[in-house]
Structure 1
Amino acid sequence: MALVDEADRHVAIPVTPTGAGVLVLAGSSGRIESDRAELFARHGVRAHAIRWFGGAGQRRVPREVPLELFLDEVALLRESCDRVAVLGTSFGAEAALLTGTRTPVDAVIAIAPTSVVWPGILDGSWSSHWTAAGVPLPWVPFADDWIATTDPPEFRDLYRTSVDRHPAEAQAAAIPVERITGDVLLVVGEDDRVWPSARFADEIVARRAAAGLPTAVVRHPLAGHRVPFPGEAAPSGGTRMARGGSREADDELGAAAWDAVAGLVLGTTRPD
């Protein structure tokens, strides 16, 4: 049985298909990225944008979300596409990277990525964001004495402190990105105030390099956590927090990344 209800899936069908398909995942906002899916469709790519928590029959929050949800969606895209990519932002990037470690995909694009698995909370109980075959994946616990010192809160230091304080758990929770058989592209704003995505990207690159695998990275020193592609409206919604960057810098990063993103999804370019 499908894990995504039809009401929680937006399918963007290109007028002139190229044979490429992409699964599009939002982050903690929980929205369906329908506009982004339509952007891909205008370039000949069939796109499925899904809600992966908070939808019909789904987990209420990003906690113990079954990875099978994403694996099934990739399999659904495979039915009509010769090439399949997964693109996610933030928590969605976490899901995209994990999906690529568990099923063959042609490309993974992670925007504001993480190199480790994180927890979610429900009714006062913490557990992994993700499960596989019903078993929670290892996760990094948060530093329980951390307190935000800004308004709106910046959580970058919370994530950094939590990894540094729990090295054994961080090692166990590391996403095994060397298992991704397809191309990998990371899109990073170095002024990300949500979590240290630049540090996480470096860790992903190093782990894949140790396995002899290339990783493409597009960076901007002044961009933040949210990265709009050309023609997209600035993202909104989600939890109130500082995300860093500026509209100008975020747009610049999105414009710089788009050619690489489209090239990998379509299969016309490869990472250096």
Structure 2
Amino acid sequence: MSQARPGQKLTIRASAIDELDKRWQSYAVFTADEQGVVDVGRQEPETGSYEGVDSMGLFWSMRRVEKGKQRDAFFAKNTAAPLTVTIEIEVDGATIATSSVERLFATAGVKAIEVREQGLVGTLFMPPGEGRHPAVIILNGSDGGKRDCAAALLASHGYAALALVYFRGASRKLEGVPAALINIPLEYFEKAIGWLQERKDVDGEKLAVIGHSRGGELALLLGATFPAVKAVVAGSPSGFVHGGIKYSPTSLPSWTYHGEALPYIPYKSTFKESMGFFKNFITRTPMTMREGFLKRMPDERMAEKVSIPVERTQGPILLIAGTDDRLWPADVYCEQVMERLSAHKFGCAYEYLSYEGAGHFLCFPYGIPSLPPMTRLSPGGGVTIDFGGSSRVNAEATVDSWGRILGFLEESLRGDMIDRVL
């Protein structure tokens, strides 16, 4: 912003409409310098929705606003369509300038291919250019569905990216897949791997899987099960197999293989936990689930049955978690995975990115640079779920981990990382 009066106060507002048609807003107040310039990449706002010098602060600090009040929510962005952010500049409460910025997820030439064959459901995003491209399968977590925006971003970096649906979850319009995360056969993912390998524009020898939360658990499981997986990125994962989910945790299995349920940690809610949730509901206190998962941590005998044999993976592994994950103890799980890999003298590269103070939603494919990160969710009825972290810390972790993920994929699928331990 230029041509302001030196010393003039200006308010810059950013707003966007998510894919649920909900408005998100942020703001920052600045004082123009001696040249009448406000530079958000150089100046710290005097007040606003974020603190410190941050050129992208107005983007990640947007909050959902309903009836004039802020609400804890997830920024709904699943498609690969551009996101329009409106920027307004105010002086003394009057808007003096307005502009729009488009956040692109797919670069020019990226092609989206709907996949509805061989029982598979998803969207394949192919990068521009001839030749055979390394492939990445992207796996959502316990909400199900798929994130096309994430796959489009990876395709823009040269990867054949498959946003694969393995259960509907909240995406109830999707057909051809189970409704809930219960009894999902691993053969479904084996079929997806084979389908990609058969494509002439995909390099079937260079295939990675990326997942978050339950999708991170699944990514580790697929790497340990199928030799065709040559690299694994697991965000906020578990190194144990957990029980299924149907609207809420159940004591049914999540995964099957060769018709048999994989051993898992069953979900059993104690009376004390139930009373704790009821108390939080009455007092409108945000709910966390971390302690419940810690209490259900398997003993040594059970752990041997439900642990994912990550040491069988035929390629490098990247783990990502925040120390303030309040949904489940992903940081503890990651440390256990690292210990297991070390104990088994894992022959490929492996690394754990630990982000101090970050919560559950800190990385790709749920954390996307410049989009508002989720720290809490208020689905209604006075209930609020606390996922941990803060908007700033989660946003910073998202930016850093995104660069690290791209570097990991570059070395794993295009470089010489296979025989090198970090």
When the two structures are superposed, what TM-score results if normalisation uses the length of structure 1?
0.89
Larger RCO, structures 1/2 (Cα 8 Å, 6+ apart) = 1
Matched, 1:176 2:320: no
SS of 2:352's partner is strand
Unaligned stretches of 5+ in structure 1?
A: none
Match of 2:225 among 93, 98, 102: 102
| Contact in 1 for aligned 2:238/2:334 (Cα 8 Å) | yes
SS of 2:166's partner is coil
Alignment of 1:98-177 (within 5 A): 98-104=221-227, 105-122=229-246, 126-145=251-270, 146-147=273-274, 148-149=276-277, 150=280, 151-164=285-298, 166-177=299-310
Instruction: Specify the code of the residue in structure 1 equivalent to 2:261.
Output: P
Please give the alpha-carbon distance, in whole angstroms, between the structure 2 residues aligned to 1:13 and 1:140: 38
1:231 shift after superposition: 4.2
| Contact in 2 for aligned 1:143/1:158 (Cα 8 Å) | no
Deviates more, 1:110-119 or 1:64-73: 64-73
| Contact in 2 for aligned 1:12/1:38 (Cα 8 Å) | yes
Match of 2:192 among 70, 73, 77: 73
Alignment of 1:76-91 (within 5 A): 76-79=195-198, 80-81=202-203, 82-91=205-214
Distance change >3 Å, CA 19–CA 194, structure 1 → 2: same
What per-residue deviation string (whole Å, max 9, x for no partner) do you get for residues 30-82 of structure 1? 13110000110110111000111124232221111111111211222223224
Instruction: Specify the code of the residue in structure 2 equivalent to 1:211.
Output: H
Distance change >3 Å, CA 212–CA 75, structure 1 → 2: same
Alignment of 1:23-42 (within 5 A): 23-42=137-156
Please give the alpha-carbon distance, in whole angstroms, between the structure 2 residues aligned to 1:190 and 1:52: 29
1:243 shift after superposition: 0.7
SS of 1:223's partner is coil
Matched, 1:11 2:124: yes
SS of 1:217's partner is strand
Please give the alpha-carbon distance, in whole angstroms, between the structure 1 residues aligned to 2:378 and 2:222: 23
Please give the alpha-carbon distance, in whole angstroms, between the structure 2 residues aligned to 1:86 and 1:203: 20
Match of 2:27 in 1: none
Match of 1:204 among 316, 319, 337: 337
Matched, 1:229 2:229: no
Match of 1:187 in 2: 320
Aligned residues: 268
What per-residue deviation string (whole Å, max 9, x for no partner) do you get for residues 152-172 of structure 1? 3211111111115x5433321
Match of 2:393 in 1: 249
| Contact in 1 for aligned 2:372/2:395 (Cα 8 Å) | no
Please give the alpha-carbon distance, in whole angstroms, between the structure 1 residues aligned to 2:132 and 2:394: 29
| Contact in 2 for aligned 1:112/1:188 (Cα 8 Å) | yes
Instruction: Specify the code of the residue in structure 2 equivalent to 1:62.
Output: L
| Contact in 2 for aligned 1:87/1:93 (Cα 8 Å) | yes
Please give the alpha-carbon distance, in whole angstroms, between the structure 2 residues aligned to 1:170 and 1:77: 34
Larger Rg: 2
Instruction: Specify the code of the residue in structure 2 equivalent to 1:48.
Output: L
RMSD: 2.4
Matched, 1:263 2:407: yes
Deviates more, 1:262-271 or 1:85-94: 262-271
Please give the alpha-carbon distance, in whole angstroms, between the structure 1 residues aligned to 2:378 and 2:149: 17
1:125 shift after superposition: 6.2
What per-residue deviation string (whole Å, max 9, x for no partner) do you get for residues 79-133 of structure 1? 3224110000001011111111111211100000101001125599622210101
Compare the two structures and name the one with the higher strand fraction.
2
Distance change >3 Å, CA 76–CA 265, structure 1 → 2: farther
Matched, 1:62 2:181: yes
1:18 shift after superposition: 6.7
1:179 shift after superposition: 0.6
Please give the alpha-carbon distance, in whole angstroms, between the structure 1 residues aligned to 2:217 and 2:402: 20
Identity of aligned residues (%): 28
| Contact in 2 for aligned 1:127/1:136 (Cα 8 Å) | no
What per-residue deviation string (whole Å, max 9, x for no partner) do you get for residues 169-212 of structure 1? 33210011011111100011111011000100001001011111
Instruction: Specify the code of the residue in structure 2 equivalent to 1:186.
Output: L
Please give the alpha-carbon distance, in whole angstroms, between the structure 2 residues aligned to 1:125 and 1:37: 30
SS of 1:88's partner is strand
1:3 shift after superposition: 3.3
Deviates more, 1:224-233 or 1:93-102: 224-233
Please give the alpha-carbon distance, in whole angstroms, between the structure 2 residues aligned to 1:22 and 1:102: 16
What per-residue deviation string (whole Å, max 9, x for no partner) do you get for residues 227-265 of structure 1? 213245536989762211122111211222122211232
